[in-house]
Structure formats: C-alpha cells, structure tokens
Structure 1
Amino acid sequence: MGFVIYLDHAATSWPKPPAVIQAMKKAMDEAGANPGRGSHKMAVQASRVLFGTRQSLASLFAVNNPNDIILTSNTTSALNLAIKGYVKPGDHVIATMVEHNSVRRPLEYLKRTAGVEVDYVTLSPEGELELSALERAFRSNTSLVVCSHSSNLLGSILPVAEMGALAEKHGAVLLVDAAQSAGMLDIDVKQMNIGMLAFPGHKGLMGPQGTGGLYLSPEIELEPQWHGGTGGQSEAPEQPDVRPDRYEAGTPNTAGFAGLQAGIEQVRAWTIEKVYRHEWELSQLMLEGLGSIPGVELLGPGAGKPRTGIVSFVTERMDPAMLAFRLDREYEIAVRSGLHCTPLGHQAAGTERSGAVRASVGMGTSRQDVQTLIQAVKEILA
C-alpha cells in the first residue's frame, strides 16, 4: 500500500516512471545473463545494457568517455571507493559541516587507521560556505576536498565550481557527493573542476534502489576496494588495469541499471531546468506555509534563495519523531525525522539534540500535496 502523499524524495524518489519498471522487466526477460562473462547473445545484450547506461550518465554529466563512469550499488559505495581508493596515509582531507555519514565515516576510519588528517569547514546555520574559510583550510599535504553538492538536511547548494578551482590551485582533487543534486542541478564535471562525482540512481535520476556510480577523471587512479571476477583478463592474479573493470568486480545489477537508464532519459525529457524550477517553487510554498505556523522554525536558506527541494523544520511544541509519526498515521503523509545521517549538518544548524522533520519534494509532488502537509502540521500543533 502506497502513501497518499509521499514527501521523502531526498531518501528515494517514488513512484518510479513506468518506463523504469518496463526497462527492468525487459532486461530480466531478454538480458538476464552475466554481462562480460560470456559470448552468447544474452550475455552480450547484458553488456550492452550496462554500456547504454554509462552513455546516458556520461551525457548527463558532460563526461567524454563512458568508461570513466564506474557503476556501483549506491552513493555510499561510490564514496567509499573514491575516499579509500585515493587518500594515502598522512594525507590531509578537507570536508564540510554538512557532510553525510557516507563521507564522514570513511574519513574518520582513515583518521583512526591511516593517520589521515581531516578538517570540517564551518558553514553558516543556513548551510552557506565562505570560500575564504575553505582556502584557509588547505595545507601542503591536502590531497582531497570532499563536499556535498546540496545538503540533505538544509537543501543548501555549495559553490562546487569555485571549490573545485581552489582545490586545483592547491594541488588537490575535488570529490562531490551528488546524492541530492544528480538529476536536480546541472552538473558539468569539466567546467565545475570535479575530479570525482559520486551519485545515486534511486533519487533524482528516478532509477531503482541498488544503483549508483562514480565518475572518475581519466587523470585519477584509485586503489580498487573490491577484488574478484570481472570477466576479462581472468589469467591475471591482480585486478585488471582497464576501466571500468578495475573497479567493478562481481556480477552487477543489470536489470537495475536498465531501469536507471530509463530514469535518466525521463529526467532528460523533463529537463534539469524544469525539475529544479518545480522543486524550488514547491519548496518556497512550503517555506511560506510552514513559516506561518507559530512555533515552527525552518532550517536552511531563506525564502527566495537557491535550494533543492528539501525543507526541514523543528518545533519546541513536539518531538520531530512524534510529529512525523502522526503525519504518517493520521494523514498518510510520509516525511523523515531524526538526524538524517548528518550529525555534522545538525551541528551546523544547531539541532543536534532534537533532530528535525524533513519534507522533500519530487516531480510527482503537487502544490496540493504541500498545502495538505501545511494544514496537517497546523492541526497537529494546534
């Protein structure tokens, strides 16, 4: 049974376009073999499915070579591959105070096990970054800058291109976590000075869960994090040198990536500009309506400022978990409560003790959905 009003798109977009489900079924019916593990027709067709998805992703992110797109199971696996595969013992890494645990935990692991130094640049409570603060954080051994393109708590958007230029100036690489921006914001890896881009398939790209990827600049080599069968160079005891095989050991989610390609093509048909405008307008409506309720405190950029379709809020009148529970049970409205896997973001916003309620919109969200949420919050807090 589905929710009447689904406002948790920042976690996973839903419902999926019909073409996504159709593409997955077609792949299961006609390309159900292992890609790259045989020369029979079904195996070849499975390989074509994966390459077609790489081509769609490369076109979306302005990547020259589709084989520089490494297919993964989600953004988290892409970030782990990028961080653990690139950072060396004794390196210094710069991140920000809005990072998801998918960035923070690998970095803290490397601090503990490899003597890596990490600084988290402070942001404003609204999630805005001063580039001068970032520049002051660089050291002679800074190898990597990691940033969330858009905060999954605040909806704020970081100046990725400028951050990439600073990283290049100081001899470092920029890794962008596009969990909340892929499919919602324009991304050009070359123009934005992005060395590595981690992204999900199941959020703004409208694909199924269990899909994601990592763009890897041709100038960057990583230490593989998985070792095993790739279907090629099977006689070698080490992982192949060729991309993408070097980073993709094991049988992939072929049907899932078929669905992802269909999702990407749907986003391209909508256009990124239309997606952003739709989500921005709904977020402004939500800010206006929720902001008019006594005792509700909104997080993130103020009205009229750039932001993705995420609006988080707190109220002293009710615990966020209870408010989200009542929205679900009494109004069939799905939102997210808690720390949203970003305790650093909550520290920046000053809500680390309480957490927050997060409502996030998608292309299937209507103005009436937002109005219903606003009215429901009013009634619950009355």
Structure 2
Amino acid sequence: MQIYLDNAATSYPKPVAVADSVYNFMINNGTTSGRGSYKKAMESDRLIYETRKLIADLFNFNNTKKVIFTSNVTESLNLAINGILNEGDHVVTSSIEHNAVWRCLKTLERDKGISITKVKASKEGYTNPEDVEKSIRENTKLIIFTHASNVLGTIQPIREIGKIAKNHNIPFLVDAAQTAGAYPIDIQKDNINLLAFTGHKSLLGPMGTGGLVVNWDKNIQPLKAGGTGGDSAYEYQPDYYPNRLETGTLNVSGLVGLRESIKFINKESIETIHNKEKELVKYALNKLDKIDGLKIYGPKDSEKIVSVISFNIKDLRPEDVGFELDNKYSIMVRAGLHCAPNAHELIGTKATGCVRIGIGYFNKKEDIDILANSLIEIIKTYEI
C-alpha cells in the first residue's frame, strides 16, 4: 500500500473525471482556442470561457476577461511582479515567501535596483499587519504575500494586509499556491488586487495550468509578446484583456481538466474540503506531537495552518527520514528546503531543511496512523 503525503507539491490522486476530461478532449477535439471559427475550435473557445467563469466565481470575481491563464503560479507571479515594478521601486513582502516570489524580487533588485522590505514574522510564521504598514514608503509600488506558507502552513492575515494596501493605494498581490481550492478566498472581501494560483495543487487539476486574476485597473506590462489569434496585423501586444497578458497557444487540454476539477470542488464545496483537511491536520498534529525526538515547526493548531506540517527527528537528516519512509514503508513525503529558504531561515533549519507532509482531500486518518508508526520504527532503528 502506497501513501501519498506530498500534496503541498502537487495533489494526488486527482478526481477520475479530471483525467477523463483531458483524454476525451484530446481524442475527440484537440483544437486550439481563439484560433479558428470551425465548430471544434468554437467548442474549445466555449470550454476555455467556462473555465475562466468557474475560476472567477470560485474567488468571487466578476470579470472573466481578467482571468489570465498561465502555465503555473510561478509564471503568474512573474507576470505580476515584472509587469508592475520599475527601476527604483520599493516592494513589501513576507519573510516566508517561496522562491517563486523571492528569486523574482532578488533578480529585479540586482537588475533594476528595486528595494525590498522583508517583514519580520514570528517563529510560527505569523506576520503582524501593523508591521506591514510600518514598512510602506513613498515609493512602495507593490505588496506581495503568500496566503499560507508551504513550509509552516501558517495562514497570513491577507484581509487585514489587503485593507492596509487599499488604504495606501498600493496593489496587493497574493500567492494562493497553497490555499486555492482548499481554503475560502474572496477577492472582494479579502481586498486582493492580484491573485496568483496554480491548477495542480488543491485545485486538483493537471500540471501546466495556473493563472492570475487581475482585480486592478492600472497598467501591467506583458511578460511575453506574440500571437493571440486576433488583430494579427497589429505589430504590438493588444491592450485589452485577456490578450494583453495572455499570448501563445493555451494548454486547452489541461484547462479542460482544470474546468472539471473546479466542478468537482464546487460539488464537494470548499467548506467540506477545508473542514476535512483541517480535521486530518488536527489528528496528525496530535499523533506526531507524541513521538519522542520529533520536533514540529510552526503553529500546532489546525485553525491557523493549511494542511502542511514540517518536522525533524533528532540526530537524523531529513533526507534520510524521507528515504526510509519511501524505501521501507512506501510513504511519499518531501524533505529539504522546499524552495523556501527564507522560511527555513526563520525557524533555524536553513542548513538542514526538514521533512514535510502535505495532507490532501483524499487522505485518511489511517494514512496518518501508518506514518506515525513508521516514524516510531525509524527512530527505534536508529536508536535515537
């Protein structure tokens, strides 16, 4: 029996209907969207529009044209960050960002001379909104926060931070990689201007899908230029949405799968998914906290985190724990720095990394029981 506990990296398994929809589209249609007026191409257009609409509705947004599709959340974040920041601008961000944000900012710091304020967080990864406001300068042009840490799971107070950004007329970009599909997000109530999401994590869709929801009226420079299927004689990127920010052939088959996964989420409901994962996280925290020699990082409170738990075992390298779990017990976890060195610096594990489990909607309490028992056996084997 194999147990998958790496849903923070990508969700698995997917609903069967997701794979079926991708297969059926590729076999029975297979055409591009926005590139033809024949019946099958028009059907592709309809499917893409329906996916945009489902995304917009999921996040309480009312402009489908400003749901921009990308290949993943990293591209979405790069699109927003590079499209807004200019030479000499200042940006405020958290101290637990994924490299999808941090490397992008550091590159702009090196190449364009932007300045970055990394707001301090508590050891549990929580950011005080007041500290965000204190970091704002006259030249602050963007505030970027992850919704939840992919290392600690800590949920950030984005609604409060968004209100601060709104009061200062600064666009607020939220990285929803760990929350979209498993945690309620309301673009209006949460004061979000730009929401970056990926399809392959808690949205339960295929890899190679993602997007940026643009709830902002000011200019964003395109990340890419090229064919859009329309206005082909015009030599520059169109200035209307979605074509302004969306160019080249879309991953229609992947987005058809994303359409089906969102329909599945709507049928189950975000509330049901969130409550089940929260229950599993609470159960896992209780089980793991009782294991001698095991240290859990971040809040030990299922109300304050998404379904991510990171830990280390005394005197054991995290990669060795991960190897043992996989090799002897067929349990798949993630070990290392999780592309988030800032978060590891915060908790003192930048030199070693840690073991991370990512619980998903299709996991069961039995999976956690087997994990806990396996970790106890590993500890006994190494005589810790």
Contact 1:68-1:218 at 8 Å conserved across structures: no
Letter of the 1:9 counterpart: N
Contact 1:94-1:120 at 8 Å conserved across structures: yes
What does residue 227 of structure 2 align with? 229
What does residue 154 of structure 1 align with? 152
What does residue 191 of structure 1 align with? 189
What aligned pairs does 1:18-167 form with structure 2 within 5 A after superposition?
Answer: 18-167=16-165
Structure 1 runs not aligned, ≥5 long? none
Distance 1:44 1:245 in 2: 17
Give secondary structure in 2 for the equivalent of 1:243.
coil
Letter of the 2:360 counterpart: G
Contact 1:317-1:381 at 8 Å conserved across structures: no
Q: CA deviation at 1:304?
A: 5.0
Give secondary structure in 1 for the equivalent of 2:92.
strand
Distance 2:368 2:93 in 1: 33
Q: CA deviation at 1:171?
A: 2.1
Of 281, 287, 290, 1:289 maps to 287
What does residue 15 of structure 1 align with? 13
Of 320, 323, 326, 1:325 maps to 323
Structure 2 runs not aligned, ≥5 long? none
What does residue 256 of structure 1 align with? 254
Distance 1:304 1:342 in 2: 21
Q: CA deviation at 1:345?
A: 0.5
- Superposed CA offset, 1:147-198 (max 9, x none): 0000000011001110001111222111000000001111111111100000
Q: CA deviation at 1:255?
A: 0.4
1:266 aligns with 2:264: yes
What does residue 308 of structure 1 align with? 306
Contact 1:280-1:309 at 8 Å conserved across structures: yes
- Superposed CA offset, 1:320-372 (max 9, x none): 00000110000000000000000001111121111010001111100000110
Contact 1:79-1:102 at 8 Å conserved across structures: yes
Give secondary structure in 1 for the equivalent of 2:200.
coil
Contact 1:125-1:350 at 8 Å conserved across structures: no
Contact 1:152-1:180 at 8 Å conserved across structures: yes
Distance 1:304 1:178 in 2: 18
Of 243, 246, 251, 1:245 maps to 243
Q: CA deviation at 1:218?
A: 4.3
Q: Aligned pair in 2 of structure 1 residues 304, 362: CA closer, same or farther (>3 Å)?
A: closer
Give secondary structure in 2 for the equivalent of 1:175.
strand
Give secondary structure in 2 for the equivalent of 1:93.
strand
Letter of the 1:280 counterpart: K
Distance 2:218 2:159 in 1: 18
Deviation larger for 277-286 or 227-236: 277-286
Aligned residues: 380
- Superposed CA offset, 1:62-108 (max 9, x none): 11111110000000000000000011111100011110000001100
Letter of the 1:141 counterpart: N
Contact 2:228-2:243 at 8 Å conserved across structures: yes
Distance 1:258 1:56 in 2: 11
Give secondary structure in 1 for the equivalent of 2:134.
helix
Contact 2:83-2:223 at 8 Å conserved across structures: yes
Deviation larger for 101-110 or 274-283: 274-283
Letter of the 1:279 counterpart: E
| CA-based RMSD | 1.0
What does residue 205 of structure 1 align with? 203
Contact 2:194-2:216 at 8 Å conserved across structures: no
Distance 1:254 1:43 in 2: 11
Distance 1:201 1:274 in 2: 19
- Superposed CA offset, 1:196-247 (max 9, x none): 0000000111000000000012413210011110001101000011111111
Distance 1:284 1:38 in 2: 51
Q: CA deviation at 1:303?
A: 3.1
What does residue 343 of structure 2 align with? 345
Q: Aligned pair in 2 of structure 1 residues 161, 303: CA closer, same or farther (>3 Å)?
A: closer
Letter of the 1:187 counterpart: I
Give secondary structure in 2 for the equivalent of 1:324.
helix
Q: Which runs of 4+ in 1 moved over 4 A?
A: none
Contact 2:171-2:216 at 8 Å conserved across structures: no
Distance 1:102 1:339 in 2: 14
- Superposed CA offset, 1:6-33 (max 9, x none): 0000000011101101111222133311
Deviation larger for 272-281 or 222-231: 272-281
Give secondary structure in 2 for the equivalent of 1:246.
coil
Give secondary structure in 2 for the equivalent of 1:247.
coil
Q: Aligned pair in 2 of structure 1 residues 58, 358: CA closer, same or farther (>3 Å)?
A: same
Distance 2:165 2:51 in 1: 30
Distance 2:155 2:55 in 1: 21
Distance 1:288 1:183 in 2: 25
